[in-house]
Structure formats: structure tokens, C-alpha cells
Copies of this chain bind each other. A is one copy, B any other.
Amino acid sequence: MSLTEIQRLQTLLPTWVETNRLLCANGKVASYIPELAKSPIDALGIHLINAQGNSVSAGNSELTFTMQSISKVFTLILALMDNGESGVFDKVGMEPTGDNFNSMLKLELVQPGIPFNPLINAGAIAISSLIAGESPTEKSRRVLEFFRLLSNNRSLDYDLDVYRSESDTANLNRSMAYFLKDNGVLEGAVEDVLDVYFRHCSICVTCTDLAQMALVLAHNGTNPITGEELIPRRYVQIAKTFMTTCGMYNASGEFAIQVGLPAKSGVSGGILTLVPGRYGIGLVGPSLNRKGNSIAGVALLEQMSQTFDWSLF
């Protein structure tokens, strides 16, 4: 039956991509990182893979883009592997915020002033400071290696133009990082922490890479194709829970209602999602809706999840 579903997807996805692509005109490409403003506004691509390695691609699935916030799922996992649960949850909470991903309100208003969760910017910056390594370079190297391992792509690397563009203009992330430093949340020099953060946000991927990474999550930390155990199951569980409650910015609640799958989006238009026990899915559509998620990508996932009854709920 799973094969049949893949076959149906092979038939349906090319058409669905084209109809949902029309929504791109109603969104906007992210511009707060100048380099991102160059993304093709009407692109939409998807790649889906199952445990047997069967896959479906449709649309602009070969487009390369930077992971941006999608990387936060995997730095969280690495920080858990480096520090254990208590080491991580001393520095970040477990709650959705209801605020924008770059809001600083709760850091000022809610004691003890730690980020509410690891998937908002403040939380992900705190997580960056928890990656093991003697230097920012070593930390970043470890992150990149981990991402290469999960994506099964040894050539994964930074988009240095995006990295520099973000690093040069990230006044709001700097503001947040200094606030966290003042609240006692960050270890080490603020600029060092930010460098690790900007680097992992700028790792360049395709839909295939995201689908491979998602496939590992869909199989509780094991690459089902190679059989390799890459992540302890409990940390995958934590990651999938956060993806469900906080993965789609402050549209996570709506995404849970309409799609019902663990997912994480980025301002580059990427979305990584998964059907537990079955598929890893990578998607890109740089035209964003008002909440910062791929406008056509979210619609495509709604159509897929509702057609095949994929919701966890």
C-alpha cells in the first residue's frame, strides 16, 4: 500500500505543484537578508523519499537554497547529544510563544528571561552556544559534519554570500544575542556564538538533502536505508515535538490543525517535514506568506496531508 501511495504521489505531485505554484504571486520573498531577496519568487519544488529509498520529485526540486531556520532542528539535536536534556533545558524552555520568531518581548517580560523554545531565533542562538567545541570554528565544523552525515551528502557546505550577507545585516539577531548575554543565557563571546549561528543558517541544500534528513527523523534517528543509528530516539522525539508545537513560526498552531505533521520552515522558503515511520519530505518555495512560511509550500502540504490522511491527530 505504501508503494501504491508513492505511485499515486508520482502521478499527482507534478500537477499539484503547478496549481499551488500560482499562490506564489500572493507572497513575498524574504528581504531582511539582502542576499535572500534574489530567490526566484515563483519557484516551488518538492522531494519525498521512503524507507526503501523510493522517491518522488516534482517542480523545482533541484533548486539550491540555504537552510536558515530549518537548521535549528538539527543544532538542537546536536546540543542535546552534547549536553543532555538538562544541559539544554537550563538555557531554553519548551513552550510556544505566540510571538514573532524574532520578538524580544518575552525575554524582558517573563522571568527568568530564557528563550521560550529552541526554534525561535533567541532559542536557536542559545543553542548555538551549547554546541561542543573549543572554538567557533570547531563548533561550526561539528555542525556541518553532523548535517552531512544526516543528509548523506558529503559535499554539503555553506553559501558564503548568504553567510556574509546575514552576518553583516543581522542587527536584530545581534540585539537578541546581547540581551541573552545580559540575561546570563549565553556562554562565550556574543560574536563567536553568532558566527556559529549564521554559519549553520547558511548551509546550502536541495529538497533531496532535506528529505534525507527528514527521513532519519521519520525513522526515530536511524537512516532506514543504511540502517545506521544516527540520533538517540529520545532526541528525535523531542525534536519532532518542537516541530509540531513551534516549527512553523507563529503559524504552528494552524499548521498542526491543517497539516498535522512535524515540520520546520525557513525564510529561504524551505520546509522540512515527515510522515512518521514513512516519509522524509523536503520542499522549497521562496515566496512567503505573512507569517514567514512558504505560501505555496504550506498549501501543497495541506493538500497532500488531507488527501492521504497523514495528520498525527
Interface residues of A (CB under 8 A from B): 93-99, 103-106, 108-109, 116-117, 171-172, 174-179, 181-182, 190, 237-238, 240-242, 244-246, 250-254, 256-257, 260, 262, 276, 311-313
CB-CB nearest 10 A-B residue pairs: A175-B178, A96-B96, A171-B182, A95-B253, A97-B98, A175-B179, A174-B178, A94-B253, A94-B254, A98-B98
Query: Which one of A176, A246, A312 has the greatest number of beta carbons of chain B within 10 Å?
Result: A312
Whether B245 contacts A260 by the Cβ 8 Å rule is no
In-complex Cβ contact of A116 among B98, B181, B182, B190 (8 A): B98
How far apart are A199's CB and chain B's nearest CB, in angstroms?
A: 19
> Which of A95, A96, A246 gathers the greatest number of chain B CB atoms within 10 Å?
A95
Residue of B nearest to A240 (CB): B313
Contact B96 A313 (CB under 8 A): no
Query: With contacts A171-B179, A242-B257 known, what are 10 further pairs, Cβ within 8 A?
Result: A95-B254, A96-B97, A97-B98, A98-B98, A98-B99, A104-B104, A117-B253, A174-B178, A175-B178, A241-B260
- Residues of chain B within 8 A (CB-CB) of A94 are 253-254, 256-257
A-B contact pairs, 6 of them (CB 8 A): A93-B253, A104-B179, A174-B178, A175-B182, A241-B256, A244-B244
Q: When A175-B179, A178-B174, A237-B311 are in contact, do A96 and B245 touch as well, CB less than 8 Å?
A: yes
B103 touches A108 (CB 8 A): yes
Q: How far is the CA of A254 from the CA of B246 in the complex (A)?
A: 12
Enumerate chain B residues within 8 angstroms of A105, measured Cβ to Cβ.
105, 108-109
Contacts A97-B98, A105-B108, A182-B171 given; does A245 touch B253 at CB 8 Å: yes
Q: State in angstroms the CA–CA spacing of A174 and B181 once bound together.
A: 10
User: A237 — which chain B residues lie within 8 A by C-beta?
Assistant: 260, 311, 313
CB distance from A306 to the nearest CB of B (A): 10
The distance in angstroms between the C-alpha atoms of A190 and B172, with both chains bound, is 12
CA A260 to CA B174, docked complex, whole Å: 34
A42 to chain B, nearest CB (A): 28
> Bound complex: CA of A273 vs CA of B241, how far in Å?
17
Given contacts A108-B104, A108-B105, contact A241 B313 (CB under 8 A): yes
A233 (CB) vs chain B CBs: closest residue: B309
